[in-house]
Amino acid sequence: MKEEQTNNPLHGKTLEIILNDLVAYYGWNKLGSFIQIKCFNENPSIKSSLKFLRVTPWARKKVEDLYLDICKR
């Protein structure tokens, strides 16, 4: 199992860390244009976004995929 996780760039990263990194990198406006969800475009906050992303698998996947894109750079 350890071997599997060493190649996983999301291993050890919480959703909050991922979201904070994306906001720092792109800002809310650009993040909201990449991923069209209300919590990124209307009154955005980490707290409201985390609440939504934790219960919405498709949106969380998009956030994780975008994070993986910036990790590759």
Delineate the domains of the chain, giving CATH numbers in brackets. 17-72 (1.10.720.30)
What is the residue type of 32?
G
pTM: 0.86
Q: What are phi and psi of 35, to 5 degrees?
A: -125, 105
Alpha helices in the chain (DSSP H): 2-6, 15-26, 28-34, 38-41, 46-55, 57-72
| Helices H / strands E in the chain, number of each | 6, 0
Structure confidence by residue, pLDDT tens digits, 27-48: 999 999 999 999 999 999 999 9
Distance CA 27, CA 6 (A): 29
Residue 4 has pLDDT above 90, yes or no: no
